[in-house]
């Protein structure tokens, strides 16, 4: 198959979240499965210079009095294309401008036009999140007369339903699209409605978004359209305890080396070198990640438990200030690093005993998979991809690979942490078994890519 991925961000060129990781890994796996793969994204000026200076001009188009270029990054396996327009995409930043509707409506239509310009007759157009929601609509409404596009099918992926792209009709009307039955536009809704096949990034989230609590106002359409759920993977070459730079390498048969990573992490952060339970959080510090629960329970843990807690991330000022205060108040038990540090993140994954992720909602979640890859036991709330990837440990049946709670409640989270601590301190043989069980799990893209391959075949049959 000829597969074209369209997205607003792709690793390693630009990344603000998990979407870029997916677009950095999934296309590579599809190429390995024998498919011809291309990717199209905007050419931002914030893309690192080492990539920008290698771009080669491919084609030029005019649209609505403006000029757009298609440029290509040289790669032996995947065709990386970028749509260039200085006014729309070179602003020193990517998201947040008042005219995002124009930016991504134009990107969606120009992507289709450039396909014909370079004679790339795709079988599948894989669109991702609200920024590419107009693509299925344009394909069905404006380009359905052109035989070049007749056999193209769209797969539309919802990575996070909270971010929908809600705008006025202006962006469409300036492009000649008049939707007389609407007062405004929702790019996510358009993508779901016009996509041939729609999926989201975990089976549980695909079911959750049918209900108002998770549906974000779109439950009326997620109930009418069948939503497939495919759990994302992680790049197991990048996240590998045997090869990751900056840590003491280890595997499930050399867990003493994992203990060395813990001591090195404690030393680096200024925590006392100790065998107490080390719990970590690597997250955006926002309400949706369950930080209200964490904030409500932290002082209880720090006052009474033999524990050390490390948080890495940035976000809402309230959380940042509170965690700074706790770091001052409990210097031997609590540390916070505000910001992002990839090397420190790997050291935390490798050196922690437990990884806490109590999200209110979590479409997929990658951090818990990375933690398990490094033998760090997850403690999660049962939602979205967290529920699909972490099965609660049952001491009677010896089943499960982590610890979880159902209700979005700080007391339930605190109880679950204490259950995990009890096994960590009192049953070290079980704890070691859990570490090895997690390190044996397959969260690679190999599994997910084969499911996407089936999804593409389904779309082709339409």
pLDDT tens figures, 342-383? 899 999 999 999 999 999 999 999 999 999 999 999 999 999
- Domains in the chain, ordered, with CATH? 2-233+446-461 (3.40.50.2000), 255-442 (3.40.50.2000)
The residues, any chain, with a CB within 8 Å of residue 74's CB and separated by 6 or more, are 54, 56
Task: Please provide the size of the chain in residues.
Answer: 462
pLDDT tens figures, 15-27? 988 899 999 999 9
pLDDT of res. 16: 86
List the beta bridge partners of residue 211: none
The Cα–Cα gap between 210 and 191 comes to 16
**Of 234, 278, 277, 286, residue with least CA distance to 425:** 277
pLDDT of res. 26: 95
User: 277: helix, coil or strand?
Assistant: strand
pLDDT tens figures, 281-311? 999 999 999 999 999 999 999 998 899 999 9
pLDDT of res. 168: 83
The DSSP result for 307-336, as a single string, is: EEEEEEE-B-HHHHHHHHHHHHH-TTTEEE
pLDDT tens figures, 73-123? 999 999 999 999 999 999 999 998 988 999 999 999 999 999 999 999 999
Q: How far apart are the first and last CA of the chain?
A: 15
Across the range 33-55, mean pLDDT stands at 97
The Cα–Cα gap between 224 and 326 comes to 47
| Bridging pattern class, strands 197-200 and 227-229 | parallel
The residues, any chain, with a CB within 8 Å of residue 330's CB and separated by 6 or more, are 302
The reply, when asked if residue 225 is annotated as ligand binding, is: no
**Of 37, 113, 42, residue with least CA distance to 71:** 42
Q: How many of the other CB atoms lie within 10 Å of CB of 50?
A: 8
Contact between 115 and 122 (Cβ < 8 Å):
yes
The Cα–Cα gap between 368 and 345 comes to 13
CA atoms within 13 A on the CB side of 146: 14
List of long-range contacts for 140-144, beta carbons under 8 Å, 24+ apart:
140/194, 141/177, 142/109, 142/177, 143/112
pLDDT of res. 182: 66
- Strand positions, DSSP E, 43-139: 56-63, 66-73, 79-84, 124-128
Residue bearing tokens 């188009």:
61
pLDDT of res. 307: 95
pLDDT of res. 180: 66
What token pair was written down for 226?
Answer: 């069948």
Whether 238 has a pLDDT exceeding 90, the answer reads no
Peptide bond into 12 cis (omega under 30): yes
Residue bearing tokens 């510090």:
285
Across the range 314-334, mean pLDDT stands at 96
pLDDT tens figures, 157-215? 999 999 999 988 777 777 777 776 666 889 999 999 999 999 999 999 999 999 999 99
Residue bearing tokens 């009890």:
422
pLDDT of res. 355: 98
pLDDT of res. 142: 87
Whether 340 has a pLDDT exceeding 90, the answer reads no
User: 150: helix, coil or strand?
Assistant: coil
The C-alpha angle with vertex 313 and arms to 160 and 25, in degrees rounded to 5, equals 50
Mean pLDDT of the chain: 95
pLDDT of res. 401: 96
pLDDT of res. 65: 84
**Of 61, 26, 76, residue with least CA distance to 201:** 26
pTM, two decimals, is: 0.92
Across the range 439-453, mean pLDDT stands at 94
């Amino acid at each position: 198959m000829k597969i074209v991925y369209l997205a607003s961000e792709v690793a390693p060129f630009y990344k603000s979240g998990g979407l870029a990781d997916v677009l950095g890994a999934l296309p590579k796996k599809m190429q390995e499965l024998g498919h011809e793969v291309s990717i199209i994204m905007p050419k931002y000026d914030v893309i690192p210079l080492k990539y920008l200076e290698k771009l080669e001009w491919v084609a030029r188009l005019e649209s609505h009095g403006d000029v757009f270029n298609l440029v290509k990054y040289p790669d032996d396996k995947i065709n990386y294309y970028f749509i260039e327009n200085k006014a729309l995409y070179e602003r020193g930043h990517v998201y947040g401008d008042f005219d995002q509707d124009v930016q991504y409506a134009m990107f969606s239509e120009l992507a289709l036009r450039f396909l014909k310009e370079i004679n790339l007759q795709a079988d599948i157009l894989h669109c991702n999140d609200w920024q590419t929601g107009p693509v299925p609509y344009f394909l069905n409404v404006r380009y359905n007369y052109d035989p070049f596009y007749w056999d193209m099918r769209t797969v539309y992926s919802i990575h996070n339903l909270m971010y929908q792209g809600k705008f006025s009709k202006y962006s469409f009307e300036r492009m000649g699209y008049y939707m007389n039955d609407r007062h405004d536009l929702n790019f996510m809704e358009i993508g779901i409605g016009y996509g041939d096949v729609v999926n989201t990034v975990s089976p549980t989230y695909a079911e959750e978004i049918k209900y108002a609590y998770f549906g974000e106002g779109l439950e009326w359409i997620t109930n009418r359209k069948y939503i497939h759920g495919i759990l994302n993977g992680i790049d197991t070459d990048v996240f590998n305890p045997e090869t990751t730079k900056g840590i003491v390498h280890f595997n499930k048969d050399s867990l003493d080396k994992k203990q060395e990573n813990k001591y090195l992490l404690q030393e680096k952060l200024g925590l006392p070198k100790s065998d107490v339970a080390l719990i970590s959080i690597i997250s955006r510090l926002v309400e949706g990640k369950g930080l209200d629960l964490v904030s409500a329970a932290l002082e209880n843990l720090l006052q009474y438990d033999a524990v050390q807690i490390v948080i890495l991330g940035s976000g809402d000022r309230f959380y940042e200030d509170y965690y700074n205060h706790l770091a001052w108040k409990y210097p031997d038990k609590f540390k916070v690093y505000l910001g992002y540090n990839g090397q420190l993140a790997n050291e935390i994954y490798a050196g922690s005993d437990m990884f806490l992720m109590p999200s209110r909602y979590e479409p997929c979640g990658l951090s818990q998979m990375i933690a398990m890859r490094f033998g760090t036991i997850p403690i999660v709330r049962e939602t979205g991809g967290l529920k699909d990837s972490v099965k609660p440990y049952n001491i009677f049946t010896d089943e499960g690979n982590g610890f979880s709670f159902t209700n979005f409640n700080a007391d339930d989270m605190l109880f679950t942490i204490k259950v995990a601590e009890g096994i960590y301190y009192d049953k070290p043989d079980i704890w070691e078994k859990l570490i090895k069980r997690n390190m044996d799990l397959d969260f690679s893209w190999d599994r997910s890519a084969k499911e996407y391959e089936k999804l593409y075949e389904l779309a082709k049959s339409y």
